[in-house]
Structure 1
Amino acid sequence: MDDTQILVAGEALIDLFPATSGPIADAETLTRRAGGAPANVAVALARLGHPPLLWARLGDDPFGDHLADVLADNGVHETLLERDPERKTAHTLVGEDEDGDQSFTFFADETATFAMQPETVSSETLERVEWVHVGGVTLHTEPSRSATLELMERADEHGCTVSFDPNTRADLWPEESVLVETLERALGLADVVKTDQDDLSVLVEATDEEELAEALLERGPHTVMLTRGSEGAMARASEEAPWGPATTEFGGYEVDVVETTGAGDAFLAGSIAGFLSECSSLAETVRYASAVGGLATTATGAMDGLPSADDVAEIIADNA
């Protein structure tokens, strides 16, 4: 396979984790980890043997240096990795809320991370790649919103398969109406969407996964993949999908969970790999992606637990 068959676009940032569990406010020591949903997807793809191009923008600062090193060490192509001498790299505090659920506090305003500009990716690049993946966090502000949507439009015009992870962070958006309008536009440009039951509640009032999947398919994508955390995932595809119309679900794999940041990104990377070469049906793709996502939870941080293709093959074989 051409090792630049995939282009991933979006934020690469630093996740800061407390050394002990509990609220961030009580933490005395923080641990640095490379993160950002699209960056997680890119590294996961590289570890699976599908090293992509990553279009991301980093500050010319120590956090940016660390991210560039991590991406290079994992085999992610750096051709489209930009450095911004005037802005800093975004970072996120990852902790627990009062209910024990994972919480994220973004430090993103006026950062290099979200200063991506339209028309950065050349037509030659889009002619070369087969798949373009974008994340939803870059849509929350300008100029990265216009840059992301413009890339999706041009990728569609060049015949690329476009995948989209809304990753809705409503607290980042200036107005709910802007969020809804932007999500509708992005969904209309996507072929494959990965989300969950709650992520798009601002847009779709659905009583169950089947209703949500149908509502999203009606907006343009041919495949919708819904993750369920530790309970696996389901997917629904229309007749325009590569393997035709189908609905499938899988309960997941038993793993020793350490920390769940990036599990959905790993699942998405597994889905892309499955569509491109690893699998021969939607059901097989969901099983493969679930293995990637499950194994990603076996270490702290979004990237540390990302598996190799051999790791994925082993867990699938052990559960055959």
Structure 2
Amino acid sequence: MPTVTATAPRPPDTDVVCLGEAMVAFRPSRPGRLADVPSFERGVGGAEANVACALAAAGHRARWIGRVGADGFGDHVVAALAAYGVDVSAVQRDPRRPTGVYFRTAGERAVSTAADGQPFAEVVYHRTGSAASAMSPELIARETAWSGRVLHLTGITPALSAGCLALVRGLTAAGPGRPLVSFDVNYRVGLWRDRSPALLAGLARRCDIVFVGEDEAEAAWGLRGGAAIRAALPEPDILVVKQGAGGATAYVRGGPGRTGDASADRVVSAPALTVDVVAPVGAGDAFAAGFLSAGLRGLDVRTRLRHGHLMAAAALTTDADLARPPERAHADRLAALDAGAWGRLRLGPGWTGHPPYDGVDENTPEEPAP
């Protein structure tokens, strides 16, 4: 009888799987109202696709899973993501439903009104009945979505349809073989008008890493401040609360298990950078990609937050749909600066391609990690 040798499980061949919607994005050729803009440039938009592209550009093995139409726009989405190095082998083509599209002006914020002092943004979506809205547990196999070290989801997908909500619920449920699950709340007012945003909180509580902006939490759940948000979302091992110009704070579970006392959290903060903003689009997705990238490399939480800020700065300082991330060595050097040097950084257009930037002394001593 032949001898049977036990083998260890094969490690995932993908670092991060990003599952969600990708659309063709039309960006205006000049500032102004959509009614006045004469022409548009075509690109690709979608929170999860943005994260996948940023991770691939940063040297990670990233896969995007989604559905697009069997149309020219679907061809463009798949080709554009593949050009960034994203694995698109699991993308499904729908012969009956179209690829979603949207048009936007120069500004875009998840929670925005003209009265809040921010530039008013127009965003017009044509996504109802799209191929992406047909995603469901029956069409997306769990083993495919769970095939990476990390699964990244956002709160946009469950708002698209009942099938999408069921899919995200299934993928965030505990079970053998579940990878680390990352969830960006990404609250969009228009998507949740006919649904309760409390669903978002329930999904976030099932995940391991959660990203949420203070403005999102207040708009969706009436919560103010990081402590209140953490009290409402005590289960994630890491909760990252983004505070805009105030920086970001991570609440890190101090002990094992998923139901520990949040009062035992380790709280780690990283101030935001001074950035000469070109376009405020995609910074949240870039921040998540930077944080996850640093986590995949085993870096400490404060350094992950700083890499999030650096990747967000790359997005803010370009008007392209997807920003070129800084070279890894350049980003590592900036992330290791002491608090004073970090606070003096000012990043503008082109900074990712010209290290060292802004006269920063490369011999500035590191600040000890928390």
**TM-score interval for Structure 1 and Structure 2 normalised by the shorter chain:** 0.7 to 0.9
Does 2:180 align with 1:161?
Answer: yes
- In the alignment, what sits opposite 1:214? 231
Secondary structure of 2:44 counterpart: strand
- In the alignment, what sits opposite 1:252? 272
Partners in 1 of 2:329 and 2:77 — Cα distance?
25
Aligned residues of 1:47 and 1:307 also touching (Cα < 8 A): no
The correspondence of residues 229-268 of structure 1 with structure 2, limited to 5 A, is: 229-240=244-255, 245-268=265-288
In structure 2, give the amino acid aligned to 1:210.
A
Partners in 1 of 2:227 and 2:167 — Cα distance?
32
Mark the CA change 1:127 to 1:27 in structure 2 (over 3 Å): closer, same or farther. closer
Partners in 1 of 2:75 and 2:255 — Cα distance?
42
Report how far residue 122 of structure 1 moved.
Answer: 4.1
Secondary structure of 1:5 counterpart: strand
Does 2:63 align with 1:48?
Answer: no
Does 2:44 align with 1:72?
Answer: no
Aligned residues of 1:41 and 1:265 also touching (Cα < 8 A): yes
> Which residue of 173, 178, 182 maps to 2:192?
173
Does 2:162 align with 1:142?
Answer: yes
Mark the CA change 1:240 to 1:57 in structure 2 (over 3 Å): closer, same or farther. farther
> Which residue of 84, 88, 92 maps to 2:98?
88
Partners in 2 of 1:231 and 1:254 — Cα distance?
11
| Higher alpha-carbon Rg | 2
TM-score (norm 2): 0.76
In structure 1, give the amino acid aligned to 2:83.
D
Report how far residue 203 of structure 1 moved.
Answer: 4.5
Partners in 2 of 1:9 and 1:168 — Cα distance?
17
In structure 2, give the amino acid aligned to 1:173.
W
In structure 2, give the amino acid aligned to 1:74.
Y
Partners in 2 of 1:35 and 1:116 — Cα distance?
18
Aligned residues of 1:246 and 1:282 also touching (Cα < 8 A): no
| Between structures 1 and 2, the one with greater helix share | 1
Partners in 2 of 1:149 and 1:113 — Cα distance?
16
Mark the CA change 1:85 to 1:56 in structure 2 (over 3 Å): closer, same or farther. same
Does 2:48 align with 1:38?
Answer: yes
In structure 1, give the amino acid aligned to 2:240.
M
Mark the CA change 1:104 to 1:246 in structure 2 (over 3 Å): closer, same or farther. farther
Aligned residues of 2:249 and 2:270 also touching (Cα < 8 A): yes
Q: CA RMSD for the aligned pairs?
A: 2.5
Report how far residue 192 of structure 1 moved.
Answer: 0.9
Report how far residue 221 of structure 1 moved.
Answer: 1.2
Gaps of 5+ in 1: none
Does 2:216 align with 1:199?
Answer: yes
In structure 1, give the amino acid aligned to 2:167.
A
Structure 1, 257-266 or 203-212: larger mean CA deviation = 203-212
Partners in 1 of 2:244 and 2:180 — Cα distance?
26
Structure 1, 166-175 or 116-125: larger mean CA deviation = 116-125
Gaps of 5+ in 2: 1-10, 108-112, 258-263, 343-363, 365-370
Report how far residue 232 of structure 1 moved.
Answer: 2.6
Does 2:323 align with 1:299?
Answer: no
In structure 2, give the amino acid aligned to 1:115.
A
Structure 1, 205-214 or 10-19: larger mean CA deviation = 205-214
Partners in 2 of 1:127 and 1:63 — Cα distance?
27
Does 2:39 align with 1:29?
Answer: yes
- Which has the higher relative contact order, 1 or 2, with Cα contacts under 8 A spaced 6 or more apart? 1
> Which residue of 113, 116, 127 maps to 2:135?
116
- In the alignment, what sits opposite 2:352? none
Report how far residue 126 of structure 1 moved.
Answer: 5.7
